[in-house]
Amino acid sequence: MFRYISLFILVVILGCTPKSTINSTSTNDTKTTTSIVKKDNHSSEKNEMAKAEDHANQKDHQGHAHDKKEGAKDKAQSGGHYGKRPVGPQKTHYEKEKHFANVRQMTFGGDNAEAYWSTDSKQLVFQATNEAWGAQCDQIFFMDVATEKTKTFQPPMVSTGKGRTTCSYFMPGNKSIIYASTHKGDAACPHAPRSLNGKYVWPVFDDFDIYEADLEGNIIRQLTNEPGYDAEPTVSPDGKKIVFTSTRSGDLELYVMDIDGSNVIQVTDGLGYDGGAFFSPDSKQLVFRSSRPKTPEAQKAYKDLLAQGLVQPTEMELYVCNIDGTDLKQITNLGGANWAPYFHPSGKKILFSTNHHGESKRVFNIFSINVDGTGLEQISFDNTFDAFPMFSPDGKQLSFSSNRNNGGTRDTNVFVADWVE
């Protein structure tokens, strides 16, 4: 949603987003540990929110603030909250990116994000807004990785071409995919407000449900059918479970279901937007990003927006837990927007996108951190936007989305790099 940004500050961008009010209080907060990175010298949450509000009325852009991806890219690229878009060297690979080798650009124009691997590490499924491809708003496409891509390449669309989609993922066997879509509620692209009363917001579309489709684009079945938002699905490496975000409880919480959509279990119950979840390599844990408002004022603001089908994703941190919700731990306490997390193949580290390291908060880069909250390391060094790091199942490659090498445009493209430890 986003797993979930024109990209998601933050989803989804970005993804992969929410709905009505909640009256319950957090119970998982009591289980949160304190093994987290110390916050850098950033402004207070109040000042950060004020900064976002000051800029929220600047030029809006077309697209959906998903998982998961629209908002972060808007901020990073075009003024958004944090000033003018920086235009630097047009490169696919920066010298400091020591963990990257053989970086390949896979798309050349439009908004392309959330590229997730097939289980054989040979294909990527991703979402794109590209009028040349017949996608006025996010639709789902897939492509092989081995073939060199050019500007004339057009991948096949596997969604319906109707409504808006987000957060696709290969199912076991690589003969079908799952994704979330609004097409059943309305065939048109839904309107996506970018600000409300001077506050930057993401919309949460009630029409989102999760579907399985074959690689010809034929829908096999609908996996969710509850009122409200159901989106941001990802599949466990063992092929047995799907995690997703839903508003069926009244708040944006994580749920796990069997691969056929049965046996739905609620995972989180803390007040705030829990989303963009992925399984650990052993399929026993989840990593996700969450906004967890702490003060009465922040909680009220969150509930009031959620009642209108909106969220304000300017403060998010990373958490891990078991797939049943136990042993919840907060991993980061960096401030700003920390999102799009994904486990390293070892299961001992997490890669994610963050804007914590810059005073302006307009630059997003990929960092890694140990699951115990230590060992923070910067991985990517583009001067605008890098996000959605995803390891191939064989652990040899990393896909990510970036504004690098786009000629100073707003285009976000998919890249693949060989991973170097």
Domains of the chain are 28-413 (2.120.10.30)
pLDDT of residue 314: 81
Encoded tokens for 25: 């209080």
157: left (phi over 0), alpha (psi -120 to 50) or beta: beta
CB atoms under 10 Å from CB of 284, counted, come to 14
Q: Are 246 and 261 in contact (CB under 8 A)?
A: no
Per-residue pLDDT reduced to its tens digit, 74-86 = 444 433 333 345 5
How far apart are the C-alpha atoms of 1 and 289, rounded to whole Å? Answer: 11
pLDDT of residue 360: 82
pLDDT of residue 198: 79
Q: Strand, helix or coil at 131?
A: helix
The values of phi and psi at residue 116, to 5°, are -115, 145
Per-residue pLDDT reduced to its tens digit, 101-141 = 999 999 999 999 999 999 999 999 999 999 999 999 999 99
How far apart are the C-alpha atoms of 114 and 234, rounded to whole Å? Answer: 11
Helix, strand, coil percent content, the chain, rounded in steps of 5:
10, 35, 55
Task: Give the largest CA-CA distance in the chain.
Answer: 53
CA 261 and chain centroid, separation? 22
Per-residue pLDDT of the chain (421 residues; tens, 9 = 90+): 443 443 433 443 444 533 333 233 333 333 333 333 333 333 333 333 333 333 333 333 323 334 444 444 444 443 333 334 555 568 999 999 999 999 999 999 999 999 999 999 999 999 999 999 999 999 999 999 999 999 999 999 999 999 999 999 999 999 999 999 999 999 999 988 888 887 788 889 999 999 999 999 999 999 999 999 999 999 999 999 999 999 999 999 999 999 999 999 999 999 999 999 999 999 999 999 999 999 999 999 999 999 999 998 889 999 999 999 999 999 999 999 999 999 999 999 999 999 999 888 889 999 999 999 999 999 999 999 999 999 999 999 999 999 999 999 999 999 999 999 9
76: Cβ–Cβ under 8 A, 6 or more apart, which residues? Answer: 7, 82, 85, 355, 362, 363, 364, 384, 385, 403
How far apart are the C-alpha atoms of 421 and 405, rounded to whole Å? Answer: 24
Kindly report the pTM of this predicted structure.
0.83
pLDDT of residue 87: 58
List Cα–Cα distances, 96 to 100, 239, 243, 380, in angstroms.
Answer: 9, 36, 34, 8
Give the torsion through C-alpha atoms of 37, 384, 343, 106, to 10 deg.
Answer: -170
List Cα–Cα distances, 360 to 8, 153, 208, 380, in angstroms.
Answer: 17, 36, 33, 18
pLDDT of residue 38: 37
Alpha-helical regions (H) of 167-314: 296-307
